[in-house]
């Protein structure tokens, strides 16, 4: 009986750990897709840059920050034409927070004008 109890205890812990890992993987995949969609939604930003943040119904916090890329001296490229885009998505996982960060370079544009 004691051997059976130990075996069932070990099996319960293994199943519990597997369930926790699946939930963690699902939340990570959601965060990555949310970050990718934020990059796509901000493929062109104002010349002066932008800063946005929010939270989803599921508790995922996101932030988008775009700032002009420094131009080399003598560059013919107008200021603000290239923007460094930083996207972060964070979410609670037990007692700690996890985070996904994506970085890209996107086009700068006049406000309200799409190329």
In the chain, where the domains are located:
2-109
pLDDT in tens, 72-84: 777 777 777 888 9
Predicted local confidence at residue 85, as pLDDT: 95
**What strands lie across the sheet with 50-55, from one edge to the other?**
44-46, 96-109, 82-93, 61-68, 50-55
Predicted local confidence at residue 18, as pLDDT: 67
Predicted local confidence at residue 42, as pLDDT: 92
> With a cut of 70, which residues of the chain have pLDDT below it?
17-19, 21-22, 111-115
Predicted local confidence at residue 59, as pLDDT: 92
Ramachandran quadrant class, 49 (left: phi over 0; alpha: psi -120 to 50; beta: rest): left
> What is the C-alpha to C-alpha distance for residues 85 and 77, in angstroms, rounded to an integer?
18
Predicted local confidence at residue 34, as pLDDT: 96
């Amino acid at each position: 009986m004691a051997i059976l109890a130990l075996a069932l205890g070990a099996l319960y812990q293994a199943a519990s750990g597997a369930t926790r890992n699946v939930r963690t993987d699902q939340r990570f995949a959601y965060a990555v897709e949310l970050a990718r969609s934020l990059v796509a939604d901000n493929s062109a930003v104002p010349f002066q840059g932008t800063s946005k943040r929010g939270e989803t119904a599921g508790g995922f916090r996101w932030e988008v920050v775009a700032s002009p890329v420094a131009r080399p001296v003598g560059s013919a490229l107008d200021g603000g034409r290239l923007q460094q885009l930083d996207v972060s998505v964070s979410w609670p996982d037990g007692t700690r927070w996890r985070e996904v960060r994506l970085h890209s370079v996107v086009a700068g544009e006049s406000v309200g004008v799409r190329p």
